[in-house]
Structure 1
Amino acid sequence: MLKEIGSIFSFLTIIPTGKATLETIAKYMYIFPIVGIAIGLIVGSIAFGLSIFLDPLVVSLLVVASFAIVTGIHHTDGLADFADGLMVKGTKEKKLAAMKDLSTGSAGISAIVLYVVGLIIALSLSVGYELFLAILLSEILAKFSMVLMASIGKSASLGSNSPFVELMKSPKKLSIAAFITIIPLVVLGGVSGIVMFGASIVMTLFLVSLSNRSFGGITGDVLGATNELTRLASILIFVSI
């Protein structure tokens, strides 16, 4: 299992800890929340240390930069493509084509700007251990949301998302992912963690429904966008409770 966790960590970050095929990564997608814990601990610890010396707004900017460095921003790119696809008028085929276009449109650029600004503002509202906790819990939920989406969604077209959707149709795998996610949320987050968990499920269900109507299913870009949107929404909820 350590080998699989290392492979998935390499898939979700830029840190080379293992190699595996896309099918192998998809097979063990249900342990995404474990990697979310690792990423949350890394970025959260950076945030905690910086918050001792720096202004909250400066800390939040550096934290967003840390997320970008650690994760390689490939999920953020998915958010941009997702926004471009949604804004295209016409058939599902035209929307899917817009998502696959290598150039980023105005909708994608706007989505990234709003996302980054929102994340900086949300993170600046917490300091110290609370900031660490917000980052850790939101990152676990971001990864669980992708597992949940792959479990209940259908592929809009053949692509990198297909193995994940096919191999996650297992109640047992989803239950394991949910268990891994819930434990730290309840133990560390208490009521706030439970609220965040419920909100992440609602957001994922909404994005699945939206993607089904717009694209005929989910794609790799939709999964990436879900990761980013769930992270932002979870942090906003945490700092608001």
Structure 2
Amino acid sequence: MLKEIGSVFSFLTIIPTTNANLETIARYMYLFPLVGIVIGVIIGGFGFGLSEAGVDPLIVGLLVVAAIAIITGIHHTDGLADSADGLMVRGTKEKKLAAMKDLSTGSAGIVAIVMYLIGMVVAISLSNGFELFRALLFSEIIAKFSMVLMASIGQSAALGSNSPFLQLMKDKRKLGMAFLFTLTPLLIFGGSTGMVAFAVGISFTMFLVAISSRSFGGITGDVLGATNELTRLSSLLIFVSL
């Protein structure tokens, strides 16, 4: 099991492993929230330390966003840009999918990334101390659960690297385990705000499944990545607003 956990951790971060393969990672996708806990503790601890050291809130936000990008390798952020490009293309689902696969980032993708980064920096700057740690921790856990939920209820738009994830996550027992890994820390430490963020995260994921199914004919790897980023941001906004 440790090898499998290591493979999943390597997939979601820049930490390399020699044993990872896509099918193994997809088979253990339900462990994503556990990796979210580890990433959240690291990022949250970093943000907490900067905040307690008296660093300007906007600088804290900028540095924390940079740390997230470094640890996760920004491949999910790239999915957000590709998804935005695909959504803005007029025409058939095939044209939209082709736009997502284009190696160059279009204007929609650039705007989406800029707005996302601004939103992240501003959201993080609105909190401090332990509340910032809590917001960063739980937003990361919910973001990882959102990908598991999407893979569990969605259908693949086209044969590709996303296919194993959507096929192997149809086991409801695995979704139940992911739900348990997510809900347990939220119930213990997240409080009512955590539960609101979790409920919004689930609703937002369902909305993105509907949008992706209508626009692309299903879920792609880019859409999974975009869901991770957007759910993280929405969760952060809830934590700093309530």
Q: Name the TM-score class by shorter chain.
A: over 0.9
- Name the CA distance, whole Å, in 2 between partners of 1:194 and 1:18: 37
- Name the CA distance, whole Å, in 2 between partners of 1:141 and 1:166: 21
- Name the CA distance, whole Å, in 2 between partners of 1:8 and 1:176: 15
Match of 2:24 in 1: 24
In structure 1, runs of 5+ residues without a counterpart are: none
Cα offsets for 1:126-181 (capped at 9, x unmatched) = 00110000000000000000000000000000011000000000110000000000
Match of 2:6 in 1: 6
Match of 2:48 in 1: 48
Pairwise CA distance, 1:234: 0.2
Aligned residue identity for 1:133:
R
Asked whether the 8 Å contact 1:23–1:163 carries over to 2, the reply is: yes
Cα offsets for 1:89-135 (capped at 9, x unmatched) = 00000000000000000000000000000000000000011000000
Match of 2:179 in 1: 178
Aligned residue for 1:14, secondary structure, equals coil
Asked whether the 8 Å contact 2:143–2:229 carries over to 1, the reply is: yes
Asked whether the 8 Å contact 1:200–1:230 carries over to 2, the reply is: yes
Asked whether the 8 Å contact 1:6–1:18 carries over to 2, the reply is: no
Cα RMSD over matched residues?
0.7
Cα 1:91–1:141 change in 2 (3 A) is: same
Match of 2:101 in 1: 100
Pairwise CA distance, 1:38: 0.5
Match of 2:156 in 1: 155
Structure 1 outlier segments of 4+, above 6 Å: none
Aligned residue identity for 2:16:
P
Match of 1:74 in 2: 75
Aligned residue identity for 1:60:
G
- Name the CA distance, whole Å, in 1 between partners of 2:105 and 2:134: 33
- % of aligned pairs identical? 71
Aligned residue identity for 2:164:
P
- Name the CA distance, whole Å, in 1 between partners of 2:138 and 2:2: 22
Aligned residue for 1:169, secondary structure, equals coil
